[in-house]
Chain A
Amino acid sequence: MSAEAPHVKGGLGQSILRKEDARFIRGKGNYVDDIKLPGMLYLDITRSPYAHAKITAIRTEKALKVPGVLAVITGKDLAAANLAWMPTLMSDKQMVLPTDTVMYQAQEVAAVVADSRYAAADGAAAVEVDYEPLPVVTNPFKALEPGAPVIRTDRKEQSNHIWHWETGDKAGTEEAFRSAEVVVGQDLYIPRIHVSSMETCGCIAHMDSVSGRFTIYMTTQAPHAIRTVYALVTGLPEQNIRVVSPDIGGGFGGKVPVYPGYVLASVASIKTGHPVKWVEDRSENLQADSFARDYHIHAEVAARKDGTVTALKVKTLADHGYTDAAANPSKFPAGLFHIITGSYPFAKAFVEVDAAYTNKPPGGIAYRCSFRVTEAVYTIERMMDILAHRLKVDPAELRLKNFIPPDAFPYKSALGWTYDSGNYAGALKKAMEIIDYAGLRREQAEKRRRGELMGIGISSFTEIVGAGPSHTFDILGLKMFDSAEVRIHPTGKVIARFGTKSQGQGHETTYAQILAEELGIPADDIRVEEGDTDTAPYGLGTYASRSTPTAGAAASMAARKIREKAKKIAAHLLEVSPDDIEWKDYAFRVKGVPTKSKTMQDVAFAAYTNHPQGTEAGLEAVDYYDPPNMTYPFGSYICVVDIDKETGQVKVRRFVAVDDCGTIINPMIVDGQIHGGLTMGFAPALLEEIQYDENGNIHGGSFMEYLVPTAVETPHWETAKTVTPSPHHPIGAKGVGESATVGAPPAIANAVVDALQPYGVEHIDIPIHPWKVWQIIHAGAPKTG
């Protein structure tokens, strides 16, 4: 920006430093486990070693004799208060503690309350439980076979089938496939993975028996929704419930659900009258908290010989563990999986998903993606490469031939979404130019002649974020709007509160920048607060890249309401009619006499000291923003890999990410989101997975087995942007928290499969371990032609 260009310090497009980092980098954050209340007790949990077993006895005597142990809570205690089961966000139900049967390894069996963390751990180890093992089902296909052991015997339907969901034009799609010139099909498995945020889950529950106030400090991404659920489930008056979400060390969807530990700490506090802290350890977090993915997908694409895609058909089996504890909008049990037509104008599409119970932990959460979008993008982007391979055309060429063109927006997809804006070819061409795609293909051809393995993979994803319009989106009936409350104080300083909750995304900075731009007040003078239900306006929280599309929009709208009132005060101060005032270059100016002006700070002072008679004093506004549509960020990623033929090791040599998230608020924060997201997309492509053996024993239940990438493995990310604003968002922003997690896995998988083309390979399931690559290379000499 030139020196003369009018701007406000910390306004849109400026890479200002994050306000929250002053405390984070000094180790002065305030996380749940940092909070200590007077008289606080500690809770630990005894967990099941079996994946499926009858509980024949629980003996608590030894645990109660451990010095410092005050109480042991079992399922029977909870059943007496009708709290042994709780509802999930998907209207299924989940055990807080079992009364008779455990259904996955590491399930909560008893809770021990003690006066120290150490005594609680010793107490939990001293609880004696007798189990009678039951037959275990860990494979969802086997779970649906006749005669499979029924896991949820509490349900009327004596079956492991949970639900069937479908959307699209079934008959039309079948017809398109019948007349197709080319059909490609592929089974794809996206394994169970875990968000493994740096901070595990936990809470401090405090029932004050004198005041009747119940306060819970909680690692939650959605404090307001939690408060309402607590009110509805427990019958406590909502005004007496206070949910505080302090600093949160990463959520990624894993901190949306209500876990049994939260309920147990609450019950323990009610029972003892003391504050009770429960913070899970890393193994508990990996083994018992909600997983993500675990989709078994079969996809088919119909196309013409020239590569034009015509129809898409997808059949999926979702493994939900023992209960459907996903966190999807109510109408969509498979989330927004039907964004699966991606960046391409399929005329016909049909998607069906069935869900099954297995003896695994519950979940199906949206791990840094807007409800199953990762699964959708992986599928369509892998299928486009398979089609390119089958037709022997370059995968970039196939994409460029098929993309929905920029002038087709708003574009209505075959599965019912209305894409707001896009320029898909623009992003891909930019990525190809940065990485020198033509040069890489030449290098690859030369290397293939020498027998070396190098691959290039593309992913041109379309995201769907910002849930969402209230006509379509709710969770347990709560509409998915969000809110901002902005108050300008006499000296022109601002406190703004939001219904969302940052878990590291930098809301304190980006919301301040939106407000700075709208109000002409420097971002440094704007304080952003979230996460305390006593003070923040109601909102549905932060996940699904929804904060900027909803609460960010609410910030703009609230600021514009303030400007309307401020204009009248400015007119009063300038002694002209409000009609003669315009807001221009961050000040109220007399039309035609721009030097006659008042700043928002001038107006703010007047709002408390010299407001015009007949108007209210003060300067504040609240906005509840119900977005008219979702936003559709997109991008194109290109990955280059080299493969060690002897060991099967894959090395990502280059990775170029061109993202388009509409208007950019803070380029540095956007880049940070992309860097983190790419790393979280790289992880499941090459490293992370949670497996279970046939007895339901978890493999991947600690950081010794669950391999989160370190700085050593993580590639150097090259980022670039195109900007295609959202036409319906007040500042044109789309949300960017999840694009990279969603877009990266297929780029890497496509690159590896591309490298292995000499072996005739069309697909390898992620994570692509070295041994999988070695088996392909080892299985046979390169195929020719």
Chain B
Amino acid sequence: MIPPAFEYYAPHSVDEAVALLRRFNGEAKVLAGGHSLIPLMKLRLAEPAALIDINRIPNLSFIQEEGTHLRIGATTRTNDLLDSELLRRSYPILPDAAQEIADPLVRNLGTVGGNVCHGDPGNDLPACMLALGAELVTVGPKGSRTLPVSDFYKDTFVTALDPTELLVEVRVPKARARQGSAYQKIEKRVGDFAIAGAAANLLLDASGRVETAGIALTGVGPTAILASAASGALVGQSPDDQHLGHAATLAGTAADPNSDLRGPAEYKRAMASVLTRRALDRALARARGGG
């Protein structure tokens, strides 16, 4: 459990970090919370030539609404999601998920940016960001770009992030009236990867029908999965038992799980449906002004 030797840099600005990433050209890894990276290095499964520690870069840790978006800085700690009054009120899916991420020791260090861009299908925030229709803001040698999160996850540990780019911010469309969101997850033990998780985001119109919907899944495929057919089936419909149940069934169809120690594939698929339904129920209650 001892990693091979590596170089260590602690830049004080995004530009400095990007310059380092460029210099190592794919051989460096960004260190934020380190709760996924350090174990991989100790197991010698990851052997980066250098670590670029972004924890000393100012102004990367924030949660704020600005214009049309909620902005969350990349080094915002998971625990900050739990503590934010704004999120509890308007984006409750994020505190829901944060509460499910490991334990307080991990949440105090693990970052939103790391969770979102690591590319592990067991991470909880990717499904939340997919359901919320988030965008990712990156800075690279060629400047800044904004990517829809729906185009971000390519395969397990493979994302659209270039190895010379740094994720600096996650942007979520600003919450509206009659919007509700929720995250549900089951795990064998706290801190274990999810057996399955489901994220739901519902916006109701004035008549109480579903105006827009986002449904996404954790841990049941090579990446977090956006269940577009499931959410599509809700749009324009009354969020009644029949429609929510149908959407939950479609979410199960979208799952692409493997059998492993957490259960056989058919169980995980069934859990994707069960949890989607529970997340939808909770999101709906919140959209209607309940808890």
In the bound complex, how far is the Cα of B264 from the Cα of A135, in angstroms?
27
Highest count of chain A CB atoms <10 Å: which of B1, B263, B267? B267
- Asked if residues A771 and B186 are in contact (CB atoms below 8 Å), the reply is no
In the complex with contacts A687-B189, A700-B261, A707-B192, A283-B274 CB distance below 8 A: no
- Asked if residues B186 and A647 are in contact (CB atoms below 8 Å), the reply is yes
In the complex with contacts A647-B274, A774-B270, A775-B267, A707-B4 CB distance below 8 A: no
B2 interface residue, CB < 8 Å from A? yes
B271 interface residue, CB < 8 Å from A? yes
In the bound complex, how far is the Cα of B5 from the Cα of A702, in angstroms?
23
* Chain A residue contacts of B43, Cβ below 8 A: 283, 702
In the bound complex, how far is the Cα of B2 from the Cα of A121, in angstroms?
6
In the bound complex, how far is the Cα of B47 from the Cα of A122, in angstroms?
12
In the bound complex, how far is the Cα of B192 from the Cα of A117, in angstroms?
30
Closest to A120 in B: B2
- Asked if residues A713 and B186 are in contact (CB atoms below 8 Å), the reply is no
Closest to A648 in B: B267
In the bound complex, how far is the Cα of B44 from the Cα of A122, in angstroms?
10
- Asked if residues A771 and B192 are in contact (CB atoms below 8 Å), the reply is no
* Chain A residue contacts of B189, Cβ below 8 A: 687, 707, 709-710, 712-713
B190 interface residue, CB < 8 Å from A? yes
CB proximity to B under 8 Å, residues A745-776: 769-771, 774-775
Main secondary structure of the interface of B (DSSP, over half): loop
In the bound complex, how far is the Cα of B44 from the Cα of A713, in angstroms?
31
- Asked if residues B5 and A774 are in contact (CB atoms below 8 Å), the reply is no
A608 interface residue, CB < 8 Å from B? no
B145 interface residue, CB < 8 Å from A? no
In the bound complex, how far is the Cα of B2 from the Cα of A603, in angstroms?
58
A157 interface residue, CB < 8 Å from B? no
- Asked if residues B271 and A647 are in contact (CB atoms below 8 Å), the reply is yes
- Asked if residues B188 and A769 are in contact (CB atoms below 8 Å), the reply is yes
In the bound complex, how far is the Cα of B274 from the Cα of A713, in angstroms?
22
A118 interface residue, CB < 8 Å from B? yes
In the complex with contacts A125-B4, A281-B1, A771-B263, A778-B186 CB distance below 8 A: no
B71-114 CB contact bits vs A (8 Å, 1 = yes)? Answer: 00000000000000000000000000000000100000000000
B191 interface residue, CB < 8 Å from A? yes
Contact of B261 among A118, A282, A647, A691 (CB under 8 A): A691
In the bound complex, how far is the Cα of B261 from the Cα of A564, in angstroms?
63
* Chain B residue contacts of A778, Cβ below 8 A: 270
Give the distance to chain B from A644, nearest Cβ to Cβ, in Å.
9
A705 interface residue, CB < 8 Å from B? yes
In the bound complex, how far is the Cα of B39 from the Cα of A281, in angstroms?
13
Chain A residues with a Cβ closer than 8 Å to the other chain, count:
30
CB proximity to B under 8 Å, residues A96-132: 117-118, 121-122, 125
Contact of A699 among B1, B103, B261, B271 (CB under 8 A): B261
Chain B residues with a Cβ closer than 8 Å to the other chain, count:
23
* Chain B residue contacts of A646, Cβ below 8 A: 274
In the complex with contacts A699-B261, A707-B188, A770-B195 CB distance below 8 A: yes
* Chain B residue contacts of A272, Cβ below 8 A: none
- Asked if residues B188 and A687 are in contact (CB atoms below 8 Å), the reply is yes
CB proximity to B under 8 Å, residues A601-657: 646-649
Give the distance to chain A from B139, nearest Cβ to Cβ, in Å.
32
- Asked if residues A710 and B190 are in contact (CB atoms below 8 Å), the reply is yes
Highest count of chain B CB atoms <10 Å: which of A702, A707, A709, A771? A771
* Chain A residue contacts of B263, Cβ below 8 A: 769-771, 774
Give the distance to chain A from B46, nearest Cβ to Cβ, in Å.
14
In the bound complex, how far is the Cα of B126 from the Cα of A55, in angstroms?
45
* Chain B residue contacts of A705, Cβ below 8 A: 261
- Asked if residues B2 and A117 are in contact (CB atoms below 8 Å), the reply is yes
In the bound complex, how far is the Cα of B188 from the Cα of A281, in angstroms?
24
Contact of B267 among A118, A699, A702, A771 (CB under 8 A): A771
Closest to B188 in A: A707
Highest count of chain A CB atoms <10 Å: which of B2, B263, B264? B2
In the bound complex, how far is the Cα of B2 from the Cα of A66, in angstroms?
15
In the bound complex, how far is the Cα of B5 from the Cα of A704, in angstroms?
24
Closest to B278 in A: A646
Closest to B190 in A: A712
20 residue pairs of the A-B complex, CB under 8 angstroms, read A118-B2, A122-B4, A125-B4, A647-B186, A647-B274, A649-B186, A687-B188, A691-B261, A704-B39, A704-B192, A705-B261, A709-B189, A712-B190, A769-B188, A769-B262, A769-B263, A770-B263, A770-B267, A771-B264, A774-B270
What are the 8 closest A-B residue pairs judged by CB atoms, nearest first?
A771-B263, A121-B2, A281-B1, A771-B267, A712-B190, A707-B189, A646-B274, A710-B190
Q: Please name 13 further chain A to chain B contacts, defined as beta carbons within 8 Å, in addition to the given A121-B2, A281-B2, A769-B188, sorted by A numbering.
A: A122-B5, A125-B44, A282-B1, A699-B261, A702-B43, A704-B192, A707-B192, A710-B190, A712-B189, A769-B263, A770-B188, A770-B195, A771-B264
